[in-house]
């Protein structure tokens, strides 16, 4: 196959970078956690120095706080740097938040889904991008996925173009839009007989209900990858049974393609330790284990648009212990979803969305969306063939019990279909109340 020399060089570099990333992460996971933290600290010092010298935003922040890159000596010093928000990134893009020495047209560009209401553009240097894609491949390979296998992807913005190695049978994929009729997508998926299937848990759950009624399904996937939303236990069970394959959680975003993936042995979410530091901050300060807080990410190798203590807008917990599988590194013991997926109570508490979902995950309800407009007002859209008085009272009573307020107004609205939001995700719990 003939390619332009520049393309051949790019593909060669990509292949080399990915092989090196796979070797490095395997080496890291064999090291003790103390050695991993020491290596991350060395990389952090280089990343902080680069950001201070080349990115105007960090130069201004450090100078305003009267701290220097030398004050950040290890991972334990990260709390000295304030949290970076998506709004700050959008306001500073491109000139204040990107490196003055990196040609932006040469960077890999990605866009966020817009779950938070605003889509953003994020730039990554190609070495970091290649490492992230190697980690994405590895997350599949742990479950038996191989380079010659085919992946079927359900997405809001399907990718149409393929690279040359896809056309010769290497890391192949088929992408279809979730805006297409579900029956058509089921037919496409069954016809392609993929070894891996990728989509949001809510859409995969929809697909699972549609193929569960079919007989003689000629498809044996190795795994079903869930990403973009939190997959609850009921969804996991439904998807696994329908596809006859493990439903696997993968956590990533446009800003950092790979953050965590599920362990095939223990089911824990192993955090990215190759090119990022993941923190969970309960109050914006130091990271804490086994405490619920905001998930922050610090990129260690991205030289074009480094994100330092960047808030992903998600809430979770980092486990106190490591996984029993033998791979070293921190684990995400709990992922609760976005901050606005948490319901607020009259006394200022935050209720995880999974508790609210349990109130409507009952026989008779085929679909739902919970929306909190005010602290004492909940609107629930439900898909049900028979929303009788008994079912209504059971749901309303459970929601009031969970929120601890017997006066909470709960409106149940029967609907035939629940549309995804502008990002293509079907968020099951949304709160517009800020404590």
Q: Are residues 44 and 126 in the same domain?
A: yes
Look at 291-305, 310-324, 359-373, 375-389 and tell me which has the smallest mean pLDDT: 359-373
Q: Higher model confidence: residue 29 or residue 11? A: 29
Q: Does the CA dihedral 102-88-81-277 come out positive or negative?
A: negative
Q: Are residues 286 and 403 in the same domain?
A: no
Q: Are residues 260 and 240 in the same domain?
A: no
Q: Which of 324, 342, 321 is nearest to 332 (CA)?
A: 321
pLDDT in tens, 342-375: 788 888 887 767 677 778 877 888 778 899 989 9
Whole-model pTM over 0.95: no
Average pLDDT across the chain, whole number: 87
Q: Which one of 307, 339, 371 terminates a domain?
A: 339
pLDDT in tens, 65-115: 999 999 999 999 999 999 999 889 989 999 999 999 999 999 999 877 555
Q: What is the pLDDT of residue 117?
A: 46
Q: What is the pLDDT of residue 5?
A: 56
Number of domains present in the structure of the chain: 3
> Can you tell me the mean pLDDT for 49-56?
97
DSSP state of 143: T
138 falls within a domain: no
Q: Taking CA 222 as the corner, what is the angle to CA 113 and CA 204, rounded to the nearest 5 degrees?
A: 40
d(CA 323, CA 262): 11
Is the pLDDT score of 435 beyond 70?
no
282 falls within a domain: yes
d(CA 239, CA 226): 10
Q: Which of 33, 24, 261 is nearest to 131 (CA)?
A: 24
Long-range CB contacts for residues 381-388, cutoff 8 Å, separation at least 24: 381/413, 381/415, 381/418, 382/412, 382/413, 382/414, 382/415, 383/414, 383/415, 383/416, 383/417, 383/418, 384/414, 387/412, 387/414
Q: Which of 150, 151, 198 is nearest to 178 (CA)?
A: 198
Is the pLDDT score of 6 beyond 80?
no
CA dist 222 → 42, 66, 240, 290 (Å):
38, 53, 11, 32
Q: Which one of 245, 277, 299 terminates a domain?
A: 245
> Can you tell me the mean pLDDT for 6-30?
85
Q: Higher model confidence: residue 166 or residue 187? A: 187
Reading the block at residue 147, the tokens are: 């380079």
Residue identified by tokens 């992922």 is 335
Strand bridging mode 150-155 / 196-199? parallel
Q: Which one of 339, 364, 379 terminates a domain?
A: 339
pLDDT in tens, 113-172: 555 445 678 999 999 999 999 999 999 999 999 989 999 999 877 766 566 666 666 778
Residue 346's domain comprises 342-431
Q: Which of 99, 100, 111 is nearest to 301 (CA)?
A: 99
CATH number at residue 371: 3.30.300.30
Q: Are residues 96 and 152 in the same domain?
A: no
Tell the burial category of 363 from Cβ atoms under 10 Å away from its Cβ (0-12, 13-18, 19+).
exposed
């Amino acid at each position: 196959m003939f390619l332009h020399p520049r393309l051949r060089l790019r593909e060669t570099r990509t292949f080399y970078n990915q092989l090196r990333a796979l070797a490095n992460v395997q080496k890291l996971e064999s090291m003790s956690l103390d050695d991993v933290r020491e290596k991350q600290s060395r990389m952090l010092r280089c990343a902080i120095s680069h950001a201070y010298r080349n990115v105007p935003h960090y130069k201004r922040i450090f100078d305003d706080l009267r701290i220097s890159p030398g004050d950040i000596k290890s991972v334990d010093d990260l709390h000295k740097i304030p949290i970076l928000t998506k709004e700050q990134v959008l306001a500073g893009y491109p000139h204040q938040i990107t490196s003055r020495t990196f040609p932006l047209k040469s960077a890999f560009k990605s866009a966020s889904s817009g779950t938070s209401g605003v889509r953003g553009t994020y730039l990554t240097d190609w070495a970091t991008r290649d490492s992230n894609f190697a980690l994405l491949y590895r997350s599949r390979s742990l479950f038996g996925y191989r380079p010659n296998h085919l992946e079927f992807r359900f997405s809001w913005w399907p990718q149409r173009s393929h690279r040359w190695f896809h056309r010769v049978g290497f890391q192949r994929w088929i992408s279809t839009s979730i805006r297409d009729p579900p029956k058509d997508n089921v037919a496409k998926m069954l016809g392609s007989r993929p070894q891996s299937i990728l989509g949001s848990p809510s859409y995969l759950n929809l697909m699972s209900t549609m193929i569960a009624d079919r007989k003689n399904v000629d498809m044996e996937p190795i795994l079903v990858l869930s990403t973009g939303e939190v997959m609850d236990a009921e969804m996991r069970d439904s998807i696994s049974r329908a596809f006859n394959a493990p439903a696997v959680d993968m956590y990533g975003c446009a800003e950092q393609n790979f953050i965590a993936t599920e362990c095939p042995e223990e089911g824990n979410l192993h955090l990215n330790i190759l090119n990022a530091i993941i923190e969970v901050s309960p109050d914006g300060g130091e990271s804490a284990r086994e405490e619920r807080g905001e998930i922050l990410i610090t990129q260690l190798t991205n030289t074009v648009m480094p994100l330092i203590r960047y808030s992903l807008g998600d809430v979770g917990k980092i486990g106190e212990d490591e996984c029993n599988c033998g791979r070293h590194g921190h684990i995400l013991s709990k992922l609760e979803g976005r901050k606005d997926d948490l319901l607020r109570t009259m006394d200022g508490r935050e209720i995880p969305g999974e508790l609210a979902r349990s109130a409507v995950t009952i026989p008779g309800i085929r679909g739902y969306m919970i929306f909190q407009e005010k602290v004492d007002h909940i609107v629930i859209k439900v898909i049900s063939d028979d929303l009788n008085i008994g079912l209504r009272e059971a749901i309303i009573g459970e929601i009031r019990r969970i929120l601890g307020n017997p006066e909470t107004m709960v409106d149940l609205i029967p609907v035939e279909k629940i549309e995804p939001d502008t990002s293509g995700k079907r968020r099951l719990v949304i709160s517009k109340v800020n404590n």
